[in-house]
Structure 1
Amino acid sequence: MHTIVETRQGPIQGCAEDGIGRFFGIPYAAPPVGALRWRPPDPAPGWTRVRQATEFGPICPQTAGAVFTPRASRQDEDCLYLNVWTATVDPQAKQPVMVWIHGGGYLGGGGCEDGTDGSALAGLGVTVVSFNYRLGAFGYLAHPDFGSNFGLQDQIAALQWVQQHITQFGGDPERVTVFGQSAGAHSVRTLLSSPSAAGLFHRAILQSGGGERFTFDAKQPGERTYAASQAFIAHLGGGGPQQLRQIPTEMVKQASHLFSGVIPKRGRVHTPANLAWMPVTDGDIVPADAGTRPPAPVPLLLGYTHNEARYFIKPGMLPYNRLLLWVLTKALAGPQARAVRSELATSAGSLYDRFDRAYTAAVFAEPLLATTERLLSSGHEFYCYRFDRVSPGAEKSDVRVQHTAELRYLFGTLTTDGYDDVDQQVSARIQAHWVAFARDGAPTADRSWPRYDDLARIAVIADTPGQGRIDDDPIAALIHLRRTRGPGVRSGRKFPSRPASGREKL
C-alpha cells in the first residue's frame, strides 16, 4: 500500500502492516495550550513537507480511567490527535467509516489504547478513526467566565476533520458511524442532541452508556460539574481565565482528579453518577432541552453487558453483607427497594452476585429500558443487545461479563490468555454485526436481528446467538417503576445562581 496521503493539511506518511494502512498522530485541531487552554478548538495548522504519521500523539493529562494500555509515549495538553486504519487509500473506495470515541469516565484513556486497535475492523472493509479529546477539568470545566464543553467540542472538531479528509483514506463521508463505550457512549448521546454535530455522522452505536438519567440521581443536570468547577477554581487560587491559564499542567491535573468525584467515600457505593467532569447544557453546543428532545434521526444500536457492575465493585472492595445490600437497594431503588430485595432473595449465588444484579439493573439496564420507551414514542429506528459471553478467563477471575467486556471481542484484540475458540467465534460475530450496521444501518443483512419494537426483543450476544429482553431480569422492571411512578426529572439551568455543594450521598 502506498502510505503517503495528500490531505488538505498537507502530505502525511503512515505505515502498512498485514495489508492495513496505519496513520497515527494526525493533528485535527491546534494544540489547546497556553492562551488556548479552556477555549474551543482552533483549526490545526497545515504543513508542506511530508509529515510522519507512524506514532500516536500524546494523550490528555490524566490520573485514572484508561481501560487498556495507552500506546502514546507521553501525556500532554497538546493532545488533539487522531488515528486512521484502512485497507485502502483509494478515494473511490467509499468504505463505511467508523469513528471510535473512547470511554474512561471523561477522566482517562485515549484513541491509542491497545485493546481498541482498529486494525481488525479495518480488515473487514471499513475505515476506522479514533482520537483523543480533552478530559477532566481540561475538557469539562464549566463556568461563565471560562465557557464549557471543550472536550465535546473537540469531538465535533474530530468529526469535522473526518468530513473533510476521510475520502483520502478510502472512506465515505456520507456513511459515518460514531460508536463509543461508557463515557464514549454518553458522548454519542450528547452529540445526537447537539446542533453543532448535525450531519457529521449517519449512524450511532452506544455501548454501556448514554441512556436516560439514573432514577436515583436527584441532582440537577450539571450540578456536580458546576460545583466541581467552582471548587477547582478556588483550589487553584480563585483567579480568572488569564491567571488559571498560566497554572502548570501538573497542578491542573491533580486538582482535576481531586474534584472528579472518583475518590471513594467510606462505606458508600459509588456509581458513574458520582462523576463530576462531563458535558453540560450550555444552551449552545448542548441545548437546554438536550435531555428531552428526540435525538438526531439516524439509526441507533444500543446495549450493555450482563455484569456491568463488576468493573466498578470488585470482589473484596467492600464488605458485601446484608446491611450494605440494604443501603445499596434503598439508594438505587427507593420505594421499590423492598421488592428488589425480595427478588434478590430468590436468586442463587453470593451476596456479591446480588450487588452485581442490583447495580447493573439500576445503572445500565433500567436507563436503557427508559431510552427504548423514548425512542419508540418518537418513531426512531433502533436495535438493542446484551453481551453475555463469559470467557474462561473471566469465569476464573469472577469478573464475568463486566463493563468493557465486549471491547476486545469487538476490536478483535483477544489475547491468548483467558480466551478460547468460542471467544474467537463470538468476536467474529460481533464484528460482523457492527460492520453491517456501519454499512447498511442494520446489524444483520437478513434482518435476523429484529428492530426494537413493541415486542421489545433484543439480541443476546453469547456462545450462540439468541434473543431476550432488557427486563429479562425483573429487577430492571422493578426499578423502572420508580421512574414511571415518581416525579419527573428536573430540568437543568445554564449556570448555577449560587454555589452548590456537589457532594454525593449515594
Structure 2
Amino acid sequence: MTATAPVVRTAHGPVRGDLRIDGTLRFLGIPYAQPPVGALRFAAPVPPEPWTEPLDATAYGPTAQRRPFAEMTTIPEPSIPGDGVLNLNVFTPAADPAAALPVLVWIHGGGYVAGSAASPWYDGAAFNRDGIVLVSIGYRLGVEGFLHLDDAPDNRGVRDWIAALEWVRDNIAAFGGDPAKVTIAGQSAGGGAVQTLLAIPSARGLFRAAISVSGAVMRPQGRDLAETVSALFTARTGVPAAAAALRDLSDDELIDLQDRLDEDGPEREALPMVVLAPFADGELVPAPVHEALVAGTAGADVPLMLGCTAHEFDSMEPRELGAAVTDAMFRVPATEIATARARAGSPTWLYEFAWEATAPAFEGLAHHCVDLPFAFDLLDAPGVPEALGEAPPQALADAVHGAWVRFVRDLDPGPEWPRHTGDSTGAHLWSA
C-alpha cells in the first residue's frame, strides 16, 4: 500500500487497493458474501455485513482450497487460510465510473474440489493494459459446494458464482467496468461453470458473453446421480449427508470424509470421474447442462467461445487412455455444443489449442492448462517454465490473448477466426 492507494466505495463499504507500477489498480479479497461458517456453512450465500472504514484489499483473501488438488499442480494455486472464502479480486485500468470498460469474470478450475483465485496465472495486468477489467472469484468447493444434502440448498458453489456475478452487476461501475458488458470465462471446472451458468435461468442478464476453456461437466448429471453420490458418502463414511451432521467438522475432518467418498471401488467406478460437481437439481439448474446446450434451450443468444487442448490428460495416464479421456470429457462435448449452436444460428467459435510444451514433464504435449498463460499473456508468470518449457512463443500469446480481448470487447474474436458453422467439422487451431 502507498500514500496514493486508491479507495473505491462498494455497495457494502469502501475498499482500499494498490496502485501498481504500471498505473493499473488492484483490489484483492473483497467479500461478495458473508463467510460460510456456522449456520451459513451449507447455506445459500448471504450478502456481506456493511462496513464503514476502508477495507484493506491489498492481499488475496482466504481460499476455499485447503489442500491442493495434488502434491504438484500445473498451475500455482496458493491455499490461504481464513473463513471469508467468498471473496473476489478486481484488476482495473482505472477506477473511473465514466470509463465503462468491458469486464471479464474469471472462474478458476480444480475439479470442483480444489483451485485458487489467488494464482499468479490469473493476474489481470495484460487485460488491464488492453482496456478490460478482470474479476477473479472464489467459491465453495467439494462437499461444501456440491454434495447433495437433505437439509441444505443444492449447488451451493453454483449459487456462489451467481452471487459473485450479482456483486459485479451492482459494483463494477465504481471500478471502471460496465455491468452491461460482462463476459464470463473459466477453465476445466471453471469452463464447466461457464456452461452451467449458460443453462441457469436466474443467471440470465448477469453476463452477455461466455468463454469455456476445457470445460468439464459431469455426465450423467441428474438429481438421481447426486442422491446416489450422497448415499455412497454416507455408506463409506458413516456420517449422514446432512448439514446438521457436517456443519461443525473441521476442514481437515471434512476433507478426509471427501477423500473416502472418492476412494477406488466398484461403487465409485460406476460413477462419473467427477462426482462433487454441479448437477441438475430441477430448480436452480433445471436440466442437465450438456443436453440443454445441445438442444438449444439454454444460452442460445449468448456468444460463446469454447474448445480444449489437443492432449488434455494424455500425460496423466497411458497415452491411449489419456487420449480417450480427452475426447470423451472435452473434445466431443465441445464439438457437439458448437455444432448444435451453430446450426441453430447461435454465435459460436470453436478452437483446439495444439501448441506442444517443451517442459520435461509435458514434452510434446498440448496438455491441460497449457493454454492459460497464452490467454492471459503472462508467459513470465511463476510456474510457467515448469509447465510450458523455456521461451514459449510470445507471438502465440499475442494471437490468443488478442482474440480474447476482441471477443470480450466486440463479441467477436476477429476475422482470422470465423464463426463455427453447422457444416463445420474442424476447429480453429492455435499452434506455433
TM-score by length of 1: 0.76
Q: CA deviation at 1:122?
A: 1.8
Equivalent in the alignment of 2:45? 41
Q: CA deviation at 1:141?
A: 1.5
Higher mean displacement: 158-167 or 140-149: 140-149
Corresponding position: 1:412 with 2:377: yes
Distance 2:89 2:330 in 1: 30
Higher mean displacement: 430-439 or 246-255: 246-255
> Measured at CA, do residues 4 and 205 of structure 1 come closer, stay the same or move farther in structure 2, by a change above 3 Å?
same
Tell me, what secondary structure is at the counterpart of 2:359? helix
**AA partner of residue 282 (structure 1):** D
Distance 1:222 1:152 in 2: 15
Corresponding position: 1:96 with 2:102: yes
RMSD: 2.5
Q: CA deviation at 1:388?
A: 1.1
Equivalent in the alignment of 1:347? none
> Measured at CA, do residues 271 and 94 of structure 1 come closer, stay the same or move farther in structure 2, by a change above 3 Å?
farther
Q: Which of residues 385, 388, 403 in structure 1 aligns to 2:354?
A: 388
Equivalent in the alignment of 2:227? 226
Corresponding position: 1:257 with 2:227: no
User: In the alignment, is the contact (CA less than 8 A) between 2:221 and 2:279 conserved in 1?
Assistant: no
1:63-462 equivalences in 2 (<5 Å)? 63-65=67-69, 67-74=74-81, 76-210=82-216, 221-233=222-234, 235=237, 237-238=239-240, 240-259=242-261, 261=262, 263=263, 273-288=272-287, 290=289, 291-292=291-292, 294-296=297-299, 297-313=301-317, 320=318, 352=319, 354-393=320-359, 397-398=362-363, 400-415=365-380, 417=385, 419=389, 423-444=393-414, 447-456=415-424, 457-462=426-431
Higher mean displacement: 153-162 or 246-255: 246-255
Q: CA deviation at 1:124?
A: 1.4
Q: CA deviation at 1:228?
A: 2.7
Higher mean displacement: 447-456 or 121-130: 447-456
Tell me, what secondary structure is at the counterpart of 2:393? helix
> Measured at CA, do residues 223 and 423 of structure 1 come closer, stay the same or move farther in structure 2, by a change above 3 Å?
farther
**AA partner of residue 399 (structure 2):** R
Q: CA deviation at 1:133?
A: 0.2
Q: CA deviation at 1:196?
A: 1.5
Distance 1:449 1:225 in 2: 39
Q: CA deviation at 1:175?
A: 0.4
Tell me, what secondary structure is at the counterpart of 1:308? coil
Q: Among the aligned pairs, what percent are the same residue?
A: 33
TM-score by length of 2: 0.88
Count residues with an aligned counterpart.
412
**AA partner of residue 329 (structure 2):** V
Query: Which sections of structure 1, spanning at least 5 residues, go unmatched?
Result: 314-319, 321-351, 464-506
Q: Which has the larger radius of gyration?
A: 1
User: In the alignment, is the contact (CA less than 8 A) between 1:388 and 1:401 conserved in 2?
Assistant: yes
Distance 2:324 2:96 in 1: 50
1:89-140 Cα offsets, whole Å, 9 max, x none, are: 1111111100000011001012111222222222211000001100000100
Tell me, what secondary structure is at the counterpart of 1:164? helix
Distance 1:9 1:41 in 2: 15
Equivalent in the alignment of 1:485? none
Query: Which sections of structure 2, spanning at least 5 residues, go unmatched?
Result: none
